[in-house]
A and B are shown apart, each in its own frame.
Chain A
Amino acid sequence: MTTETMAATGLSHAEHHHDHPTGIMRWLSSTNHKDIGLMYMIFGSIMFIVAGLLILAVRAELLFPGLQVMQPEMYHQLVTLHGAIMVLAFVIPAAIGFNNYLIPMMIGAPDMALPRLNNWGFWILTPAAILLLIPFFLQFFGIGDGAVAGGWTIENSPLSIQAGLGIDFTILCVHLLGLSSITGAINVIVTIFNLRAPGMKMMKMPLFVWAWLVTSFLLLLIIPVLGAAVTMLLTDRHFGTHFFIAAGGGDPLLFQHLLWFFGHPEVYVALLPVWGTIPVILSTFARKPIFGYKMMVYDFWAIGILGSVVWAHHMLSMGMPLAGNLFFMFMTMSISIPTAMMIFCWIATIWRGSMTFETPMLFALGTVIMFGIGGLTGLVIPDIAAYAQYHATMYIVGHFHYTFMGGAALGLMAATYFYLPKMTGHMYDEKLGKLHFWVTIIAFNMVFMLMMIVGLEGMPRFASDYPSAYAGLNFVISTSAFVLGAAQLIFFYNIIKTARGNGAKASDQVWEGASGLEFTLPSPPPYHTFTVPPEVK
């Protein structure tokens, strides 16, 4: 393949001096941004499937009131692992995969600026994921009491101090994941500042690159805080400190402040890369330039900065002082303005375009609408008067799935369909893609719209069993969730089919309306691209 593609790009053998290894060593020791990007995406996909299976087991328990499938101890582990894996080991790695694969091609760079760090950042992930899951399997051999079980935010720190070895493994896992994220973030920042092709001014960079620049700074800001918080928890557990133990003068709420200082910006870490992709897809299939490019760049920064000072809206019923409650309520509401501006720009991008509706476009439009619901149902939450009716109920769960799954995961699917022909050189199966979209979007809304309703009626989160009043809705939610899970099999089947070379050959430009440096390269792109930087006009 290599010689072929080398010939295609017209590179001489003299430039092709460092042959890359083949077989397993190609992947283990790779410093190539495309290989590493692919590995991140595959890792993310595996984690997506694992976490999905976990939550389907949970939904099976919730089909009927009463305990049929598992006891609360197991239930709490599954829910917690689902959240932790989806947030830490699926959304972020999958998005990092896209940035690794695309950013060098988008800005005309030969590779990431720190390729070895890049390799290291990826290979830390696997042991981290294993650490998170080990205690879950150990319990079946009578060792320990299972995986972490206090919710993915482990925000009840006295409960974490009581808990068994699952929490220690999680703390180590978080440290490793944090290291991985920090190396990734530094790499992105260094690459963007140093390796842009001549003429690629900052304000000419694709929005995806901008979004990742903001994301990287956010990661550098929040990951060390998370690392500190879990380390303090570890010393509280084993070395007699009292950071979070009230009996020793500590404060259980301090842990929540530190955790949410990480946890809320983490939402934007998951969403920003998607926000950088959606307008590109919309503009491609509307055959019209992106509306309000500059405004969106400023929006990214505004949301990044505002998003870092609103964390305690997760704690408004914890009993903070009135001034604190009011501050966090009003700051949170202010995020609606840059977010609304972004959605406005997206709608204006398709307005009076000449649209066609291939699968990536369907997913992009779906993402816009689902994220719209997520944003609007989130706008009401920080309001203190009704906050208690929403907090810690299934309403919150429904709401954040509209942003996390409807915003981030559906957006990543849009990006996958959009770039799959570029990556594999073949078009995916359009019929299967559309089927995947329609089943996903209908089942998704069935699950999470009803979940918000059952939450408003008062059903608390993390409840393995529920009063009979919530029985009917939970039955429908569970069955829809199984359909939603099954629909994702179509997605992965389609990807594998395309990657194996089925489907029509993709042109260099792939889509009629596509533009950008990555679409000037052949499909699939050769192993080394832009060894001679292109000139950007």
Chain B
Amino acid sequence: MMGKSTGNNLLQRIMLGTLVVSGMTAMTTANAKEGFNFFLTEAVTPLAHEAEGVHVEFFTIITVLFFVALGFIIYAIVNHRKSKGGQPASFSMPATRLQWLWFTLPFIGLFILDYVVMGIPAYKAAIAMEDTKTNADMVLKVTGSQWKWQYEYPAEGIKFVSTMSTPREQIDGKEAKGENYLVEVDNPVVLPINKKVRILLMSSDVIHSWNVPAFGGKKAAIPGFLREMWVQIEEPGTYRGQCAQICGKGHPFMPIVVKGVSEDKYKEWVALKQVESAKLAASTGTVWRMEDLMKHGQGIYEKICSACHQPDGKGLPGVFPALAGSRVVNSQFLDESGHLIKDRHLDRVMNGKAGTAMQAFKNTLSDVDIAAVVTFERNSFGNHMGDMVQPSQVKALR
């Protein structure tokens, strides 16, 4: 680097040479090996391929840079030590024009690396990621809420909530862990392959982040704002991810599962879902019996409410209020003219409580779900209100 090397010890030169060459060889073989992409998840969308390409290129560059610098350090450590009896040099600045050239060259090189070799692909990728609208085939709305994802297909009229299906026993170690421990859900998102899907992201409470590594993307879901990304899945398969923004105690337990299927299968799935929601809409109009409401409500409670209010309805003191014996639950929820009484049971469930983890469930749950869960809570955990809420009432109150 600076002037001529002082020693002419052949052995040391060979050692240094071997180090640099072996580093480089390790790199090249690693790259040549099929599929080695510096540990990234295998890409299945155009953006993920772009990310993978850039990632491999950049990691190759920084590994080479590291071994070159390390080579110089090790060469100096081996050769320029006191025990070798060498006298220290005294230079502290580049002196000649040639030395200045040697000094400047690495930084010109680094500048080119930064802004040409790495900069141009990164610039192109940034533009491609930003373009969510051109030729988009369909729209998927994703709403994050503590600690589940709600999906909506606006054109198809489908809407459902997706929560983690890993049982608590597996988490606590009382049962053996399944194959897809923590990355399995009750209702996966289904998307057709080879279609450009525009994904709109929003949140009903805190910031979340929708993240599927195989799609090469994550994007924040921010309350009050709309964010966009796009995916175009190239191969059928099941792709998994997890929320990537710390969002409270359930953060590790809100996975994302996306199924990429052929267009025919996708159409079948849409038809099935549409029938389901038509049934649901029809049942809203009918009068439900108490037992049915209680049974349906218990399911909803265990899935949605028990994370905070606990399975026994006693809550967590100081953090999440109890429902058992609660004044909010054990009181009238409608006034004489049939309007919601503020801060009573049904109002809380439908409209939430600002500034707390209690969100407005009218955005997430169907009329039947709300009616059933409120009925269940009023008649469980030692609460004996004896009344019930009909889905049609909830519908009218929206």
Indicate whether A288 sits within 8 Å of B70 (C-beta atoms), given known contacts A317-B220, A453-B39, A456-B40.
no
Q: Which of B59, B66, B177, B246 is A372 in contact with, Cβ under 8 Å?
A: B66
Q: Is B290 an interface residue (CB 8 A)?
A: no
Chain B residues whose CB sits within 8 angstroms of the CB of A289 once the complex forms: 90-92
Q: Is B87 an interface residue (CB 8 A)?
A: yes
Chain A residues whose CB sits within 8 angstroms of the CB of B172 once the complex forms: 66-67
Q: Tell me which residues from 203 to 248 in chain B have a Cβ below 8 Å from any Cβ of chain A.
A: 205-207, 209, 211, 213, 216-220, 222-225, 227-228, 240-248
Chain A residues whose CB sits within 8 angstroms of the CB of B319 once the complex forms: 145, 164
Q: Tell me which residues from 353 to 373 in chain A have a Cβ below 8 Å from any Cβ of chain B.
A: 353-357, 365, 368-369, 372-373
Q: Are B207 and A158 in contact (CB under 8 A)?
A: yes
Chain B residues whose CB sits within 8 angstroms of the CB of A383 once the complex forms: 54, 58, 118, 122, 125
Q: Are B181 and A65 in contact (CB under 8 A)?
A: yes
Q: Is B346 an interface residue (CB 8 A)?
A: no
Query: A433 to B294, alpha carbons, bound, how many Å?
Result: 69
Q: Tell me which residues from 98 to 127 in chain B have a Cβ below 8 Å from any Cβ of chain A.
A: 103, 106-107, 110-111, 114-115, 118-119, 121-127
Binary per-residue interface labels of chain A (379-392) against chain B in the complex, 1 for a CB within 8 Å, 0 otherwise: 11001111011011
Q: Is A16 an interface residue (CB 8 A)?
A: no
Query: A164 to B222, alpha carbons, bound, how many Å?
Result: 21
Chain B residues whose CB sits within 8 angstroms of the CB of A348 once the complex forms: 1-2
Chain B residues whose CB sits within 8 angstroms of the CB of A319 once the complex forms: 201, 219-220, 222, 225, 227-228
Q: Tell me which residues from 258 to 292 in chain A have a Cβ below 8 Å from any Cβ of chain B.
A: 286-292
Query: A344 to B129, alpha carbons, bound, how many Å?
Result: 36
Q: Which of B90, B126, B249 is A76 in contact with, Cβ under 8 Å?
A: B249
Chain A residues whose CB sits within 8 angstroms of the CB of B222 once the complex forms: 246, 252-253, 318-319
Q: Which of A246, A247, A290, A391 is B244 in contact with, Cβ under 8 Å?
A: A391
Chain A residues whose CB sits within 8 angstroms of the CB of B32 once the complex forms: none
Q: Which of B69, B179, B251, B354 is A347 in contact with, Cβ under 8 Å?
A: B69
Q: Are B173 and A68 in contact (CB under 8 A)?
A: yes
Q: Are A384 and B126 in contact (CB under 8 A)?
A: yes
Q: Are A389 and B88 in contact (CB under 8 A)?
A: no
Q: Are A292 and B93 in contact (CB under 8 A)?
A: yes
Closest approach, in angstroms, between the C-beta of A108 and any C-beta of chain B? 22
Q: Is B180 an interface residue (CB 8 A)?
A: yes
Q: Which of A376, A388, A389 is B66 in contact with, Cβ under 8 Å?
A: A376
Query: A143 to B72, alpha carbons, bound, how many Å?
Result: 58
Closest approach, in angstroms, between the C-beta of A395 and any C-beta of chain B? 9
Q: Are A336 and B110 in contact (CB under 8 A)?
A: yes
Q: Are B224 and A246 in contact (CB under 8 A)?
A: yes
Q: Are A340 and B39 in contact (CB under 8 A)?
A: no
Query: A16 to B139, alpha carbons, bound, how many Å?
Result: 81
Q: Are B249 and A71 in contact (CB under 8 A)?
A: yes
Q: Is B51 an interface residue (CB 8 A)?
A: yes
Query: A337 to B90, alpha carbons, bound, how many Å?
Result: 26
Chain B residues whose CB sits within 8 angstroms of the CB of A72 once the complex forms: 249-253
Q: Which of A326, A337, A351 is B80 in contact with, Cβ under 8 Å?
A: A351
Q: Are A156 and B82 in contact (CB under 8 A)?
A: no
Chain A residues whose CB sits within 8 angstroms of the CB of B253 once the complex forms: 72, 465
Tell me how many residues of A have a C-beta within 8 Å of chain B.
94
Closest approach, in angstroms, between the C-beta of B166 and any C-beta of chain A? 9
Chain A residues whose CB sits within 8 angstroms of the CB of B54 once the complex forms: 383, 385-386
Q: Is B81 an interface residue (CB 8 A)?
A: yes
Q: Tell me which residues from 235 to 271 in chain A have a Cβ below 8 Å from any Cβ of chain B.
A: 237, 245-247, 251-253
Q: Is A215 an interface residue (CB 8 A)?
A: no
Q: Are A291 and B93 in contact (CB under 8 A)?
A: yes
Chain B residues whose CB sits within 8 angstroms of the CB of A355 once the complex forms: 76-77, 80-82
Q: Tell me which residues from 23 to 67 in chain B have a Cβ below 8 Å from any Cβ of chain A.
A: 38-41, 47, 50-52, 54-55, 58-59, 62, 65-66
Query: A293 to B91, alpha carbons, bound, how many Å?
Result: 11
Q: Is A12 an interface residue (CB 8 A)?
A: no
Sort chain B's interface into a size bin: 35 or more
Q: Tell me which residues from 303 to 347 in chain B have a Cβ below 8 Å from any Cβ of chain A.
A: 316-319
Indicate whether A386 sits within 8 Å of B58 (C-beta atoms), given known contacts A291-B92, A467-B180.
yes
Q: Which of A67, A246, A286, A322 is B223 in contact with, Cβ under 8 Å?
A: A246
Q: Kindly report which residue of chain A lies nearest to residue B93, judged by CB atoms.
A: A292
Q: Are B88 and A385 in contact (CB under 8 A)?
A: no
Q: Are B251 and A354 in contact (CB under 8 A)?
A: no
Query: Which of B246, B253, B319, B356 is the most central at the interface, judged by chain A CB atoms within 10 Å of its CB?
Result: B246
Of A36-44, A91-99, A327-335, A519-527, which stretch is located at the interface? A327-335
Query: A247 to B363, alpha carbons, bound, how many Å?
Result: 15
Query: A319 to B89, alpha carbons, bound, how many Å?
Result: 53
Query: Which of A286, A385, A453 is the most central at the interface, judged by chain B CB atoms within 10 Å of its CB?
Result: A385
Q: Which of A157, A291, A354 is B82 in contact with, Cβ under 8 Å?
A: A354
Indicate whether A456 sits within 8 Å of B90 (C-beta atoms), given known contacts A150-B246, A252-B222.
no
Q: Are A334 and B182 in contact (CB under 8 A)?
A: no
Query: Which of A73, A253, A392 is the most central at the interface, judged by chain B CB atoms within 10 Å of its CB?
Result: A392
Chain A residues whose CB sits within 8 angstroms of the CB of B40 once the complex forms: 389, 456-457
Q: Kindly report which residue of chain B lies nearest to residue A393, judged by CB atoms.
A: B244
Query: A393 to B127, alpha carbons, bound, how many Å?
Result: 24
Query: A66 to B177, alpha carbons, bound, how many Å?
Result: 8
Q: Are A340 and B106 in contact (CB under 8 A)?
A: yes
Chain A residues whose CB sits within 8 angstroms of the CB of B248 once the complex forms: 159, 162
Q: Are A337 and B86 in contact (CB under 8 A)?
A: no
Q: Is B355 an interface residue (CB 8 A)?
A: yes
Closest approach, in angstroms, between the C-beta of A151 and any C-beta of chain B? 5
Q: Which of B50, B58, B126 is A325 in contact with, Cβ under 8 Å?
A: B126
Q: Kindly report which residue of chain B lies nearest to residue A64, judged by CB atoms.
A: B173
Query: A290 to B90, alpha carbons, bound, how many Å?
Result: 9
Q: Is A500 an interface residue (CB 8 A)?
A: no
Indicate whether A465 sits within 8 Å of B219 (C-beta atoms), given known contacts A150-B246, A354-B81.
no
Closest approach, in angstroms, between the C-beta of B203 and any C-beta of chain A? 8
Chain A residues whose CB sits within 8 angstroms of the CB of B77 once the complex forms: 350, 355, 357, 365
Chain A residues whose CB sits within 8 angstroms of the CB of B216 once the complex forms: 386, 388-389
A–B Cβ pairs within 8 angstroms, 30 of them: A67-B171, A68-B173, A72-B252, A159-B206, A159-B207, A246-B224, A246-B225, A247-B223, A294-B93, A319-B220, A319-B225, A319-B227, A333-B114, A333-B119, A347-B1, A347-B69, A350-B76, A350-B80, A353-B88, A354-B80, A354-B81, A354-B86, A357-B81, A365-B77, A383-B58, A386-B54, A388-B211, A392-B209, A465-B252, A467-B240
New A-B contacts (7) at CB < 8 Å, excluding given A76-B251, A157-B207, A380-B62: A65-B182, A156-B245, A158-B206, A252-B207, A319-B228, A333-B119, A352-B76
Q: Which residues of A line the B interface, CB within 8 A? A: 65-68, 71-73, 76, 142-145, 150-151, 156-159, 161-162, 164, 237, 245-247, 251-253, 286-294, 317-319, 322, 325-326, 329-330, 333-334, 336-337, 340-341, 343-344, 347-348, 350-357, 365, 368-369, 372-373, 376-377, 379-380, 383-386, 388-389, 391-393, 453, 456-458, 460-468
